[in-house]
Structure 1
């Protein structure tokens, strides 16, 4: 089984693409995760959509927008409100995990391995078969 992160980007329009993937792949929906990381006292959110493998093959895609949403207790981002509204409409509850910021890793592949390990630890991703 292959489990791979597919990064969409950090911008505002990337969230719309991520939401469209959620809506159009409801038959493959597995989990949604919201990762929180901190760098220089700035809290950032990432959203991840885990889909079940397609009928042919053992590829589990994890579409995500990495650290593109700033989190503030005083003012909630419109992007995270849009994500939460879409999840509520579908009765999906996200897994919320505090993770290390991606800048702690020398390259994105190492960061993805770290996240994959956390998702397996929390039984969000199945173990390799």
Structure 2
């Protein structure tokens, strides 16, 4: 079971993300940037599955305001490089296209499973 856990929507979340990488880098599977057309990008730190196949995806939802050209993108990319975390970049629909954020998360779980970036449902 995969679960998106929203850290926030902006710059202050970089500190929590840094702590996650610093103290749990052995548990990190990969980092994924979701770029949205004409909207701020989303970032998820995908953890390795733990008990009962639970897998957390710590997310900064629409928090990278300038996408790949912004400072936050650069900071996150450098943190991932420092801890040897694989970075994946993809384009996805904007969370605002969905009536509820949870529907966006269900959509993204399907996309990530289809692209073999997270394990299939057991």
What TM-score, normalized to structure 1? 0.86
**8 Å CA contact retained: 2:41, 2:67:** no
**Distance of 1:63 and 1:114 partners within structure 2:** 16
- Note the C-alpha offset of 1:26: 1.4
Q: Which residue does the alignment assign to 2:44?
A: 48
**8 Å CA contact retained: 2:39, 2:94:** no
**Distance of 2:39 and 2:66 partners within structure 1:** 5
**Distance of 2:3 and 2:83 partners within structure 1:** 25
The C-alpha deviation readout for 1:28-56, integer Å capped at 9, x for no partner, is 11111000002xxx3421110111122x3
Q: Which residue does the alignment assign to 1:8?
A: 7
- Partner of residue 101 from structure 2, selected from 98, 105, 108: 108
Q: Which residue does the alignment assign to 2:116?
A: 123
Say which one has the larger Rg: 1
**Distance of 2:111 and 2:41 partners within structure 1:** 16
Q: Which residue does the alignment assign to 2:36?
A: 37
- Note the C-alpha offset of 1:18: 1.7
Runs of 4+ aligned structure 1 residues displaced above 2 Å come to 90-93
Q: Which residue does the alignment assign to 2:19?
A: 20
**Is the partner of 2:116 in helix, strand or coil?**
coil
Q: How much is the aligned-residue C-alpha RMSD, in angstroms?
A: 1.6
**Is the partner of 1:126 in helix, strand or coil?**
coil
Q: Which residues of structure 1 form unaligned runs of 5+?
A: none
Count of residue correspondences: 122
Q: Which residues of structure 2 form unaligned runs of 5+?
A: none
Q: Which residue does the alignment assign to 1:68?
A: 63
- Note the C-alpha offset of 1:71: 2.1
